[in-house]
Structure 1
Amino acid sequence: MDVQLLAALVLGVAAVVAIIVWSRLDAFVGLLAGALVTGVVAGVPINDLIGYITSGFGDTLAGIGIVIALGVMIGKVLEESGGADALARMFVRAFGKGREDVAMTATGAVVSVPVFCDSGFVILHPLARSLARRYGKPLVGVSLALAGGLAVTHHLVPPTPGPLAAVGLLGADLGTVVVAGLVMAVILVPVVVAYARIMGPRLERHLDPELLPEPAAAGAAASGGAPGGSAPAGSPADAAADGTGHDAKPRVHPALAAIPLLLPLLLIVGNTVSGAAAEGSRVADVFAFIGEPAVALLIGLVIAVYLLPRLDIERTTVVGWLTSAAASAGMIVFITGAGGAFGEVLRQSRVGDALAEEVSTWPVPLFLMPFLIATFVRIAQGSGTVAIITAATLGAPLVQSAGVDPTLAVLSACSGSFVFSYVNDSFFWVVTRFTGLSGAPAMKMWTGATTTLWLASIPLLGIAALVLG
């Protein structure tokens, strides 16, 4: 690999980590500084470098910025109206008390098959916060369970973009890959739950109330930083939790509370299904509009505002909820955009391509070649989808000439993309900032979780190689 590109990667990442962990500057500044360092060291012309940063920032926010803002607003309405608490009770009844993390992992795994991780986490995180507050569970653990469930199927099961592209590039059968990906995802779900239960209590004390979206921050402050974020004895949350007192929030029927969440998800799923099954039809055109995540969430927000609050709640109160939500979403949006800017510089400077070409010459079993390429591309530029597509593209001639089963090659590329989600991955910032972690604890939470999934997938690939030949 070109020494200059390697130095660009190392110095850029080092700049980000140093600023975030050891300085008083915010992650937003650190990511932009890392992008500048990487581009300069890689020899990118200054005018082009600035263009890459601005385009990466803008393109990222175009895809997720509106979704984050609308999702936070829906969450705020659910929190203030009592809808999130109603849904939390329903989830616990369905999965059993003490298995809140299992409930969130399973829910995330189902939702993420047709929906991007970022959108799914934004939509479902109010439930995680409510479960943590009501049942005295670590917010970090419940949030981690949700994010892990989303990541597992997003990286393994079509029709998510990465696996679907790999199927086409490697000439695999789509149905076989769906079944194999689901089997692998089911096996990895307990890994997510175990990691969440181990790391959640350990990281809970590192929660920063200033990063938590309201009203979760208030709950954390009231708990005095106690594990699980439970409220003090005698608080309304205790009364609600034990079922003997009055809820701090008004009661809302779970069916009504579910509509602002389920309807956007169903519209997004409808867009995916209709686009695949009836491309070019009138139905597909309609769902292409109303199933766009930003439009679907806007519909969900309008329904939440007019369906959930009691009739006696004044308009100014509801507007205040939305204003507060917009303020709490602002920094998450900016940091997510900066992560996209850094990733764009890494892509345009060809650091990821150089790493992939280097790894393709290593003497390793050929069915692991897509896995290794995806691993290094993911670390270099942050996007799991890009890592899968790059690994499938570069690995296709190798695995086809060696007679590697196409389904195995797809699973290999997808599994490699789990690894080391960190500062150049927008989902890293969505997960950690919504949870309320920064710095080293944030990396222990999410970087550690994705790397654990990456490690757990290696023996599964070995078994798959024996089965698929």
Structure 2
Amino acid sequence: MDIQLLLALVLGIATIVVLVLRTRLDAFVALLIAALVTGLVAGQSPLDIVKAITTGFGNTLASIGIVIGLGVAIGKILEVSGAANALALAFLRLFGKGREPWAMGTVGALVSIPVFCDSGYVIMNPLARSIARVKRAGYVTLALALGVGMTLTHHLVPPTPGPLAVTGLLGADLGAVILTGLVFTVLLLPIAVTYAKWMGPKLESSVTEEVREAVYGRAALVGASEGSHHGGTSTITADDDAAPAQEDLPDDPELDLGTPPEGAKPHRVGAFLASLPLLVPLLLIVLNTVTGAMDQNAQGVVGGKYEPSAWVVPFAFIGNPVIALIIGVLLAVYVLLPRWTPRSRVQGWFAEAAASAGLILLITGAGGALGQVLRSSGVGDALAEAIAATALPAFLVPFLVATLVRLAQGSGTVAMITAASVTAPLVGTLGIDPLVAAMACTAGSMILSYFNDSYFWVVTRFTGLEGTAALRGWSGITTAVWAGSIPLLFILNLILG
């Protein structure tokens, strides 16, 4: 590989890491500056660099911007309507007694598909505390299982903004990414729950007194203290198979849905209705993928230009991510919210959702800009040729880039978008399947959540873990699922390669 082009790539990635870690600039500006640095070091003319940045930014948001905005809108309504809580309770009843860690991990995975994991964890953590309070034990296990369940789908399953952006940057099929991400989640969840059940009891005594009292009550805190003074173990123990009774579980949170008319029944969202805004769009998108694949097989189209048959067009329309998520928003507003909720309040929630999506949209567009500069400057082709000359599997490149960027600056979303931006020019040249590349970017960004990750602080503060206990619990469990994803990537590459 030409030393100048290699230097351009290295300096571009280093620019992102240094600016995010050492300056007041955020990832959006850092990605744009990295694109400038990459282009200039590679020898591209300044005007060509600017053109590549604007072209890459615009093309990326044209394909994915609307979808991200609609996705976070659905998540906001699920959050404020109590639908997320209803789904969680349904899964607890479904799994039954003694399987609460599995239920919490599954709840976390489901809720985090449309809801940002930071806010999703805050919403669902009271459920973990209520179960632990009834069982008088096991809070750390439940909290870790909940948190890492959210991590899995937050990183692996669109329409969470990160993987959605990666899908657009790499040109992967959205339905295929959703299906594969769900499969990865199902296969990795046992690793997460097993780690939580193994490490949780070891860390129970490390929970801060404030959180211990909030979870178990003052009497339990005193009992634990007396046990420790006498060299014994904490008295916060119970039969692990003791299941919380229905009346002991939290009901819907306090909802600010407006003033109901006199005589109206209290607003409650059942699990089936709560699932509709999430499941219907996902099913429509997957149905579009399946019918399109069937039609291409029937036509014998392999790699060439594909024109959908007449019978596929309706599925292609309603399964387009934009249309599917518009349907999801309509279901969320008109099924989950009561008719008396003021229009102004609903519009305010949409404004909050748009604000939370704004930075993600800008970072995604900037990632597209960096990718376009890598293409137009020749860095992408040079990197592809260098990889082809080695024995390294090509799909490990995005995985390792995402891993290193995540370790350096903490944000999984920035890590996967950076990896996708670097990988996008290589997909065609090296023959990497876009689906494999997308999963490599998202899986690589799960490694070692620690002090530079905001979600680390959310989970550990709510769980009451500090110092080495926090690292053993949360950093360890995220690294475990990251490691577990490596053989899955090899198998996926073997199938699609």
TM-score (norm 2): 0.60
Asked if the contact 1:356–1:394 (Cα under 8 Å) also holds between the matched residues in 2, the reply is yes
| SS of the residue 2:157 aligns to | helix
Q: Distance in 1 between matches of 2:122 and 2:43?
A: 45
Asked if the contact 1:256–1:308 (Cα under 8 Å) also holds between the matched residues in 2, the reply is yes
Structure 1 62/455 Cα, relative in aligned 2: closer, same or farther at 3 Å? same
The aligned residue for residue 127 of structure 2 is 134
The aligned residue for residue 255 of structure 1 is 272
Q: Distance in 2 between matches of 1:62 and 1:446?
A: 36
How far does residue 387 in structure 1 lie from its aligned partner after superposition?
4.7
Asked if the contact 2:52–2:376 (Cα under 8 Å) also holds between the matched residues in 1, the reply is yes
Is the aligned partner of 1:25 residue 2:25?
Answer: yes
Structure 1 417/352 Cα, relative in aligned 2: closer, same or farther at 3 Å? farther
Structure 1 89/375 Cα, relative in aligned 2: closer, same or farther at 3 Å? closer
The aligned residue for residue 483 of structure 2 is 452
Q: Which amino acid aligns with 2:150?
A: S
How far does residue 343 in structure 1 lie from its aligned partner after superposition?
2.4
How far does residue 41 in structure 1 lie from its aligned partner after superposition?
0.6
The aligned residue for residue 328 of structure 2 is 300
| Structure 1 segment 363-378 matched on structure 2, within 5 A | 364=391, 369-371=393-395
Structure 1 133/298 Cα, relative in aligned 2: closer, same or farther at 3 Å? farther
| Structure 1 segment 401-440 matched on structure 2, within 5 A | 420-421=444-445
Q: Which amino acid aligns with 1:270?
A: L
Is the aligned partner of 1:268 residue 2:285?
Answer: yes
The aligned residue for residue 154 of structure 2 is 147
Q: Deviations 1:69-94 (Å, cap 9, x if unpaired)?
A: 11111112122221121112223333
Asked if the contact 2:156–2:182 (Cα under 8 Å) also holds between the matched residues in 1, the reply is no
Q: Distance in 2 between matches of 1:358 and 1:385?
A: 17
The aligned residue for residue 36 of structure 1 is 36
Structure 1 330/107 Cα, relative in aligned 2: closer, same or farther at 3 Å? closer
Q: Which amino acid aligns with 1:51?
A: K
Q: Which amino acid aligns with 2:483?
A: T
| Structure 1 segment 195-210 matched on structure 2, within 5 A | none
Is the aligned partner of 1:286 residue 2:279?
Answer: no
Structure 1 6/246 Cα, relative in aligned 2: closer, same or farther at 3 Å? closer
Q: Which amino acid aligns with 2:371?
A: G
Structure 1 326/129 Cα, relative in aligned 2: closer, same or farther at 3 Å? same
How far does residue 389 in structure 1 lie from its aligned partner after superposition?
9.4
Q: Distance in 2 between matches of 1:39 and 1:307?
A: 50
Q: Which amino acid aligns with 1:332?
A: I
Structure 1 311/199 Cα, relative in aligned 2: closer, same or farther at 3 Å? farther
| SS of the residue 2:275 aligns to | helix
Is the aligned partner of 1:243 residue 2:226?
Answer: no
Is the aligned partner of 1:102 residue 2:101?
Answer: no
Asked if the contact 1:107–1:149 (Cα under 8 Å) also holds between the matched residues in 2, the reply is no
Asked if the contact 1:104–1:142 (Cα under 8 Å) also holds between the matched residues in 2, the reply is yes
Q: Deviations 1:50-106 (Å, cap 9, x if unpaired)?
A: 121112212222222111211111112122221121112223333442224631587
| Structure 1 segment 172-211 matched on structure 2, within 5 A | 188-191=188-191
Q: Distance in 2 between matches of 1:377 and 1:341?
A: 17
| Structure 1 segment 388-407 matched on structure 2, within 5 A | 390=426, 394=430
| SS of the residue 2:268 aligns to | coil
Structure 1 186/90 Cα, relative in aligned 2: closer, same or farther at 3 Å? closer
Gaps of 5+ in 1: 109-119, 166-179, 201-223, 235-239, 397-408, 423-427
Structure 1 24/447 Cα, relative in aligned 2: closer, same or farther at 3 Å? farther
Q: Answer with 336-345 or 251-260: which moved more.
A: 336-345
| SS of the residue 2:389 aligns to | coil
Structure 1 355/289 Cα, relative in aligned 2: closer, same or farther at 3 Å? same
How far does residue 433 in structure 1 lie from its aligned partner after superposition?
8.4
Asked if the contact 2:292–2:316 (Cα under 8 Å) also holds between the matched residues in 1, the reply is yes
Structure 1 242/351 Cα, relative in aligned 2: closer, same or farther at 3 Å? farther
Q: Which amino acid aligns with 1:269?
A: V
Gaps of 5+ in 2: 130-142, 174-179, 201-207, 219-245, 256-266, 297-307, 406-416, 459-470
Q: Distance in 2 between matches of 1:129 and 1:394?
A: 43
| Structure 1 segment 56-75 matched on structure 2, within 5 A | 56-75=56-75
Q: Distance in 2 between matches of 1:246 and 1:395?
A: 50
The aligned residue for residue 327 of structure 1 is 355
Q: Deviations 1:195-253 (Å, cap 9, x if unpaired)?
A: 889999xxxxxxxxxxxxxxxxxxxxxxx9x989x99989xxxxx99426774234211
How far does residue 3 in structure 1 lie from its aligned partner after superposition?
0.7
Structure 1 455/288 Cα, relative in aligned 2: closer, same or farther at 3 Å? closer
Q: Distance in 2 between matches of 1:447 and 1:49?
A: 38
The aligned residue for residue 343 of structure 1 is 371
How far does residue 23 in structure 1 lie from its aligned partner after superposition?
0.7
Structure 1 164/410 Cα, relative in aligned 2: closer, same or farther at 3 Å? closer
Q: Distance in 1 between matches of 2:280 and 2:360?
A: 24
Give the number of the structure whose alpha-carbon radius of gyration is greater. 2
Asked if the contact 1:36–1:49 (Cα under 8 Å) also holds between the matched residues in 2, the reply is yes
Structure 1 414/285 Cα, relative in aligned 2: closer, same or farther at 3 Å? closer
Q: Distance in 1 between matches of 2:199 and 2:359?
A: 25
Is the aligned partner of 1:352 residue 2:380?
Answer: yes
How far does residue 46 in structure 1 lie from its aligned partner after superposition?
1.6
Q: Distance in 1 between matches of 2:31 and 2:69?
A: 21
Tell me how large the CA RMSD over aligned residues is: 5.2
Q: Distance in 1 between matches of 2:376 and 2:85?
A: 45
Q: Distance in 1 between matches of 2:40 and 2:252?
A: 60
Structure 1 193/44 Cα, relative in aligned 2: closer, same or farther at 3 Å? farther
Asked if the contact 1:105–1:189 (Cα under 8 Å) also holds between the matched residues in 2, the reply is no
Percent identity (aligned): 40
Structure 1 243/453 Cα, relative in aligned 2: closer, same or farther at 3 Å? closer
Q: Deviations 1:313-365 (Å, cap 9, x if unpaired)?
A: 22222222222222222122112221222222223323232223123223x4x
How far does residue 278 in structure 1 lie from its aligned partner after superposition?
3.4
Q: Distance in 2 between matches of 1:358 and 1:449?
A: 31
Q: Which amino acid aligns with 2:46?
A: I
How far does residue 194 in structure 1 lie from its aligned partner after superposition?
6.5
Give the one of 275, 294, 312 matched to 1:277: 294
Q: Which amino acid aligns with 2:127?
A: R
Structure 1 23/353 Cα, relative in aligned 2: closer, same or farther at 3 Å? same
